[in-house]
Amino acid sequence: MSFATELAELLPQDLPHRENVIAKAARHLELIVEMNQVMNLTRILNPREAAIKHVLDSVLPWRLFEGASHVIDAGTGAGFPGVPLSLVLPETQFSLLDATQKKARFVESAVAELALPNVRVFPSRVEEWIHRNPAEIVTGRAIAPLHKTLLVFAPALKMGARVLLYKGPDAEQEIAEAMPEARKRQMEMRVVSRYELPDGMGARTIVEITRA
């Protein structure tokens, strides 16, 4: 089955701009498959698995981002969760960051082809970029454990942002391990959403980090 067919079956019926999300997210996945022949963007290429793990996973917590004027996707990789979220929330400005130049260039070309006026792409790290470009929300997937990433997101928190991280089922353990460092830096961490991906493809936990 095609990416579009899988997405049409999987995406929630009440997802905003659903038809546009299906069409453009499917094209985004096609571009990734094409580029993957010359650059390793992802090992997930099966249409259903890619639709679930890349797109559905990205958009299921969309309500947590609703109403923000500017969202930063730190370490966007091939464009997740930033590109799918930008399709669901076209009134929100998204800045997609990746320190790997080749990945940033790919995402920039994909954004141009998909004609996403609310998305900008930058070859940069969030801890360096946030000082000049404050945002209400900073997000990221496939990020190192919390006790290692608190330092990375500290500048964003100081600039008034809240951080929403896509984590796995062991998020509580990560929070416990990171708590001493968080207290020292006056940060608060809490679970704000949980959901199960279809076909037994895993459990997701969204962790929010704010200034205490």
User: Average pLDDT, whole number, for the chain?
Assistant: 95
Q: Is 78 exposed, middle or buried (0-12, 13-18, 19+ CB in 10 A)?
A: buried
CA–CA separation, 160 and 18 (whole Å):
31
Backbone dihedral angles phi then psi of residue 127, each to the nearest 5 degrees: -70, -25
Place of tokens 């076209």: 90
Q: Residue 27 has which token pair?
A: 């094209």
pLDDT tops 80 at residue 45: no
Residue 92: DSSP 8-state: S
pLDDT at 108: 98
Do residues 191 and 206 make contact, with C-beta atoms less than 8 angstroms apart?
yes
Say which CATH class 60-211 falls into: alpha beta
Q: What is the pLDDT of residues 148-178, one digit of tens each?
A: 999 899 999 988 999 999 999 999 999 999 9
Give the mean model confidence (pLDDT) for residues 14-32.
Answer: 98
Do residues 197 and 203 make contact, with C-beta atoms less than 8 angstroms apart?
yes
Q: Residue 200 region, left (φ>0) first, then alpha (ψ -120 to 50), else beta? A: left
Neighbours of 40 (CB within 10 A): 11
Q: What is the pLDDT of residues 67-124, one digit of tens each?
A: 999 999 999 999 999 999 999 999 999 999 999 999 999 999 999 999 999 999 999 9
**DSSP H or E segment with residue 196:** strand 187-196
pLDDT grade for 127, boundaries at 50, 70 and 90: confident
In the chain, where the domains are located:
60-211
pLDDT tops 90 at residue 39: no
Backbone dihedral angles phi then psi of residue 69, each to the nearest 5 degrees: -90, -25
